[in-house]
Amino acid sequence: EETQLDALRKHVRSLKRDIQRHHELREPMAALYQPRMGNAIKAMSNWEKKSQYLLLEILKYDSYIDSLQAA
C-alpha cells in the first residue's frame, strides 16, 4: 500500500511539472500564429484541451491518494 501511495505521489508530481511546462508554452505558442486565424484558434483549442486534461488527471490522482490515506 505504501509503495502504491509513493508511486501515485510521484505521478502527481510529474503531472504538476507537465502542467507547469505546458502553461509556460502558451505565450510562445500564441506568438507563432496570427490572432483569430484558423490555425491560431485550433492551436489554442488544443492547448486548452491538454491543460484541462492534465488538471483533471491531477485532481483524480489527488483524490485517489486522499482515499488511500483515509483507509
Cβ contacts of residue 28 below 8 Å, gap of 6+?
none
41-68 pLDDT, tens per residue?
Answer: 999 999 999 999 999 999 999 999 999 9
- E strands of 2-66, at which residues? none
C-alpha–C-alpha distance, residues 19 and 11, integer Å:
12
- Name the pTM for this structure: 0.87
1 pLDDT more than 70? no
Q: Read off the pLDDT of each residue in 11-30 and give the average, rounded to a whole number.
A: 97
Measured CA angle at 48 (ends 15, 7), to 5 deg: 10
Give the confidence band of 17 by pLDDT, cuts at 50, 70, 90: very high
CA distance 66 to 62: 6
Q: pLDDT class for 33, splitting at 50, 70, 90?
A: very high
